[in-house]
Amino acid sequence: MSQNKNRFMNWLNGESDTFSDSMEMKPQKEYEEEESTVRERMRERQQIYDRVYDVNGNKELIFLRMFYRVMAVVFCVLFVSLLIVTVSWLPPTGSEDNPVNNEVSKRYIEQGMEETGAVNIVSGMILTYRAFDTFGETNVLFIATCCVMILLMIDDAALKKQQVDNDRRYEPKNDVILQKIAFVLCPVIFIFGIYIVLNGQISPGGGFSGGAVIGAGLILYVSAFGFKKASRFFNELIYKIAKITALCMYGLIGTYFYITGANGIENHIPLGIPGHILSGGIILPINICVGLEVACTMYAFYALFRKGGF
């Protein structure tokens, strides 16, 4: 007891332990497994693996594989047979008794011009009789653009300025050929797109096709001259005003048209003379709204995917 007390007091006083130097300290030798033991363990592991995952000898697995192949063939045969039987019951093409030849399509063709004021039956159908469906499609474009802006829009001002400065880092900054061609074609494309939009009620075209042409013109202009020059007449503020205003105007015009039509009230919107530019009732303003939506959507997708902003 006294010996341990002396050792403890020496340790507290910082003196060396008299027994520490006399003890032999050897590092522990790392355990090495014998090669025969390793081989035996690997052999047992392989036996267990072969017994559990026996692909060639497992009867249950072989049966399931054969059952899967047979059922796949049976399902394909039944599905193809069902399609053939269904097609055989379809009415012949061009028959007067076809389901599509009903009073709805008959009314579109016979009374469409009188009721809508549009020479283009397709525009009269989708923008008056089925204007609610087209309004839903326009909302899809608006929501799609909002989703892409949430995912790709750059909010950091410094990073946005850097993106503007490095806008054409991977392209020639002054491609003379592209700029000369765009200088000639862009005005023609814009005018042609506006023509398609404004003549949608009297000729093939309308807001969707005309807006696509205008959007293509904007993309060509940006590709040739850059976003900095395009932002002089079409920036983020103008984009938001045009897109939101077009959607709201479409909604207001459509709501007024739906409410009056559903209640048998005269809407007091003149149809005009069929074939004239100011004709078609609500078709012309709705075509303008749809054209703005489509053009803004195309340009927004291009700008956001290219540099994360306008």
The total number of residues shown for the chain amounts to 310
Three-state secondary structure of the chain: CHHHHHHHHHHHCCCCCCCCCCCCCCCCCCCCCCHHHHHHHHHHHHHHHHHHCCCCCCHHHHHHHHHHHHHHHHHHHHHHHHHHHHHHCCCCCCCCCCCCCCHHHHHHHHHHHHHHCCCCHHHHHHHHHCHHHHHHHHHHHHHHHHHHHHHHCCCCHHHHHHHHHCCCCCCCCCCHHHHHHHHHHHHHHHHHHHHHHHCCCCCCCCHHHHHHHHHHHHHHHHHHHCHHHHCCCCCHHHHHHHHHHHHHHHHHHHHHHHHHHHCCCCCCCCCCCCCCCCCCCCHHHHHHHHHHHHHHHHHHHHHHHHHCCC
Q: Which residue has the tokens 């006294």?
A: 2
pTM of this structure? 0.65
pLDDT category, 16, cuts 50, 70, 90?
low
pLDDT category, 158, cuts 50, 70, 90?
low
At 19 the pLDDT is 54
Cβ 279 vs Cβ 201: under 8 Å: yes
**What percentage of residues in the chain have a pLDDT greater than 90?**
25
What average pLDDT does this structure show over 273-298? 89
At 299 the pLDDT is 92
Task: Say if residue 53's pLDDT is above 70.
Answer: no
Task: Say if residue 22's pLDDT is above 60.
Answer: no
pLDDT category, 231, cuts 50, 70, 90?
confident
